[in-house]
């Protein structure tokens, strides 16, 4: 078993020791004990990140810094994953949520190029997915950068562009084979500006300076992608959609582990409930139950290129379940017997529209003919409806000791929140720069560093501390 695969399984198995006591507290909407876990936050004298006593951070990367390939660090760092490198190093692949008009800034001063209105003269245009071939259309500047971190020296050794020319790369997810799936979330799905956008792209987690040849994984659908998670035993990929009337998708690859070989796209349907709404908004006529396992069917989708941006509408009309702003997603083993679960955040779901967390328990025959008789199950796992606990969860990951670690994206001051295996909420960090969105949380393969992005500030941080020491 190779190093990347061992690391993937070790992190996935983290949940096997967690959440066994969650039922004691977490009926959706019920009161939940607040726990310090690591104690109160302390104000950061540098006004970047407030952390509990004993924790500290290292700034790895700043927007605008010159990288090892001569380009500059793009703005809007978002989803991210950590992979094992040689001699204990960590390879990070990081998204940048930039498009034609990144962050609404008119001067295009936040992409990787000196002048983002045109590609450098010596740049290989074949390595830019959408170089802006139409007259007057600049190149798209979304994509990924790769960072190489040395934990022992606590410093960044290298960073460079690894995918470019894509549109608003929001989140994604790691694969067992050691690659990152970067997902486009275009603001405009119908205008013809250059190439079509709204796809997934695979980026190998390699430490050498190299831009990945941009190949859209078209069979994984064209929509406002947010994140993915891979069910390791089967190679099936699950996908979220950041729309308030979106769906949860499943991609059945023709060749597990080789996503470029194509496959079939499906949508989640709650068995016995046509077009079920899971949002639980105040005006919803029917409440979706919390802490109940509901059997799932998966329905095939057609016209997945969706030129009119109506894939989700057609899917829900045909019976698929509706989810509000599916964002971060993570895969993990559910219990000591190795039962698998896919967790994801719905950022503005819930009665207070402050977010929900769902999980899906795959079938023993996931994606196989026997699945009808042994279905998978979906569950509304968490809906706190209390801003002191969690507000608008976005990216999500699982700590090696079983806690959920959730990045907030709220109009109020954003925090990094945790949920223990016993259902206790705690605050791990607070944005002291400008209060805005955290993104890209992920742990190093050894579990001693937590990496996170501060999107608007354009910072990537590495956090360490006494993870296994809790405050009574």
pLDDT tens digits, 19-49: 444 444 444 444 454 557 899 999 999 999 9
The C-alpha R_g of the chain, in whole angstroms, comes to 21
Q: What pLDDT score does 116 carry?
A: 80
Q: What pLDDT score does 1 carry?
A: 46
pLDDT tens digits, 257-269: 999 999 999 999 9
195-233 in b/e form (b: 16+ CB < 10 A) is: bbbbbbbbbbbbbeeebbebebbbbbbbbbbbbbbbbbe
Contacts of 105 (CB under 8 A, 6+ apart): none
Distance of CA 72 to the CA centre of its chain: 24
Please tell me the distance from the alpha carbon of residue 221 to that of residue 197, in angstroms, as a whole number: 11
pLDDT tens digits, 124-182: 999 999 998 777 778 999 999 999 999 999 999 999 999 999 999 999 999 999 999 99
Q: How many residues does the chain have?
A: 472
Q: What pLDDT score does 333 carry?
A: 53
Q: For the sheet with 200-204, list strands across it.
A: 169-174, 179-184, 200-204
Please tell me the distance from the alpha carbon of residue 379 to that of residue 359, in angstroms, as a whole number: 5
Q: What pLDDT score does 110 carry?
A: 86
| 311 pLDDT higher than 90 | yes
Q: What is the mean pLDDT of residues 235-242?
A: 97
Please tell me the distance from the alpha carbon of residue 93 to that of residue 81, in angstroms, as a whole number: 6
Q: What pLDDT score does 27 carry?
A: 46
Is-contact 392 355, C-beta < 8 A? yes
Burial class (CB in 10 A: 0-12, 13-18, 19+), 245: middle
| 5 pLDDT higher than 70 | no
Q: What pLDDT score does 56 carry?
A: 98
Domain boundaries, the chain: 65-216
The confidence band for 109, taking pLDDT boundaries of 50, 70 and 90, is low
| 50 pLDDT higher than 80 | yes
Residue with token string 């998966």: 298
272-305 in b/e form (b: 16+ CB < 10 A) is: eeeebbbbbeeeeeeebebbeebbbbbeebeebe
Q: What pLDDT score does 402 carry?
A: 82
- Give the side-chain half-sphere CA count within 13 A for 151: 23
Contacts of 256 (CB under 8 A, 6+ apart): 234, 235, 236
Please tell me the distance from the alpha carbon of residue 371 to that of residue 424, in angstroms, as a whole number: 34
Q: What pLDDT score does 203 carry?
A: 98
């Amino acid at each position: 078993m190779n190093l990347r695969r061992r690391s993937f399984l070790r992190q996935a198995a983290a949940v096997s020791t967690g959440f066994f006591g969650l039922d004691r507290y977490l009926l959706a909407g019920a009161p939940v004990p607040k726990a310090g876990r690591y104690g109160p936050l302390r104000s950061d004298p540098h006004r970047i990140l407030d952390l509990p006593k004993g924790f500290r951070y290292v700034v790895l990367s700043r927007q605008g810094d010159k990288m090892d390939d001569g380009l500059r660090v793009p703005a809007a760092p978002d989803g991210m994953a950590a992979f094992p490198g040689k001699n204990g190093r960590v390879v990070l692949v990081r998204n940048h949520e930039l498009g034609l008009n990144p962050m609404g800034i008119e001067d295009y001063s936040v992409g990787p190029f000196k002048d983002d209105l045109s590609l450098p003269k010596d740049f290989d245009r074949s390595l830019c997915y959408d170089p802006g071939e139409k007259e007057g259309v600049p190149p798209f500047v979304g994509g990924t950068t790769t960072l190489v971190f040395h934990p022992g020296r606590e410093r960044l050794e290298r960073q460079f562009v690894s995918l470019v020319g894509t549109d608003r790369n929001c989140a994604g997810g790691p694969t067992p084979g050691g690659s990152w799936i970067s997902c486009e979330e275009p603001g405009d799905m119908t205008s013809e500006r250059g190439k079509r956008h709204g796809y997934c792209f695979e980026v190998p987690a390699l430490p050498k300076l190299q831009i990945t040849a941009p190949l859209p994984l078209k069979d994984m659908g064209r929509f406002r992608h947010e994140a993915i998670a891979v069910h390791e035993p089967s190679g099936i990929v699950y996908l979220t959609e950041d729309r308030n009337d979106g769906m949860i998708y499943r991609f059945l690859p023709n060749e597990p582990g080789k996503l470029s070989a194509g496959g079939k796209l499906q949508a989640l349907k709650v068995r016995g409930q046509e077009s079920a709404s899971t949002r639980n908004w105040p005006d919803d006529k029917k409440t979706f139950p919390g802490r109940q396992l509901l059997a799932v069917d998966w329905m095939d989708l057609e016209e997945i290129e969706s030129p009119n941006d109506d894939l989700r509408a057609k899917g829900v009309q045909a019976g698929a379940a509706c989810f509000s702003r599916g964002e971060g997603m993570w895969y993990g083993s559910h219990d000591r017997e190795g039962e698998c679960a896919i967790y994801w955040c719905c950022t503005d779901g819930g009665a207070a529209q402050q977010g929900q967390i769902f999980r899906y328990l795959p079938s023993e025959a996931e994606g196989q003919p026997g699945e009808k008789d042994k279905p998978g199950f979906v569950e509304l796992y968490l809906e706190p409806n209390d801003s002191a606990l969690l507000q608008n969860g976005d990216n999500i990951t699982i700590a090696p000791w079983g806690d959920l670690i959730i990045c907030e994206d709220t109009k109020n001051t954003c925090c990094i929140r945790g949920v223990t295996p016993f259902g206790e909420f705690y605050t791990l960090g607070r944005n002291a720069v400008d209060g805005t969105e955290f993104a890209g949380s992920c742990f190093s393969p050894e579990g001693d560093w937590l990496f996170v992005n501060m999107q608007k500030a354009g910072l990537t941080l590495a956090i360490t501390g006494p993870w296994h020491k809790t405050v009574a």
